[in-house]
Amino acid sequence: MAKPIPTDAEQAPGDIVRRLTRAADRASLATGMAGGGWPYASLVLLACDHSGRPLLLLSDLADHTKNLKEDARVSLLVDGTAGLEEPLTGPRATIQGRIAPAGDDPLLMLRFLARHPSAALYAGFPDFTLYRVMPERAHLVAGFGRIHWMPADEFLFDLQGHEALAGREADIVAHMNADHADAIDLYASQLLGLSGKGWQLTGCDPEGCDLRLRGQVARLDFDKPVADAEAARVALVRLAKRARRDVRTQPETESPN
Render pLDDT for 166-209 as a digit per residue (tens, 0 to 9). 999 999 999 999 999 999 999 999 999 999 999 999 999 999 99
Q: Which one-letter DSSP state was computed for residue 190?
A: I
Count the Cβ atoms, other than its own, within 10 Å of residue 174: 12
CB 181 within 8 A of CB 44: no
Domain with CATH 2.30.110.10 in the chain: 13-154
The SS3 of residue 125 is: coil
Alpha carbon distance 215, 17 (integer Å): 23
Domain with CATH 3.20.180.10 in the chain: 164-248
| Main-chain dihedrals φ then ψ at residue 137, nearest 5 degrees | -160, 170
Question: Of 73, 82, 230, which Cα lies nearest the Cα of 164?
Answer: 230
Strands (E) located in 23-152: 26-32, 39-45, 47-48, 54-59, 73-79, 91-101, 128-142, 147-151
pLDDT at 1 over 70: no
Task: For the chain, give the mean pLDDT.
Answer: 93
The SS3 of residue 187 is: helix
| Main-chain dihedrals φ then ψ at residue 96, nearest 5 degrees | -115, 135
Give the distance between the most distant pair of CA atoms in the chain: 72
State percent of the chain over pLDDT 90.
Answer: 86
Torsion of CA 47, 48, 49, 55, to 10 degrees: 70
Element (H, E) at 219: strand 216-221
Tens digits of residue pLDDT in 24-73: 999 999 999 988 789 999 999 999 999 999 999 999 999 999 999 999 99
Where are the alpha helices (H) located in the chain, listed in sequence order? 13-23, 63-70, 106-115, 164-179, 181-186, 229-249
Whether pTM > 0.85 for this model: the answer is yes
CATH of domain 13-154: 2.30.110.10
Tens digits of residue pLDDT in 130-161: 999 999 999 999 988 889 999 999 999 999 99
CATH of domain 164-248: 3.20.180.10
Amino acid at 185: D
pLDDT at 9 over 70: no
Alpha carbon distance 191, 142 (integer Å): 23
Give the residues across from 98 on adjacent strands. 73, 134
Count the Cβ atoms, other than its own, within 10 Å of residue 96: 17
The SS3 of residue 70 is: helix
What is the distance, to the nearest Å, from the Cα of residue 107 to the centroid of all Cα atoms in its chain? 16
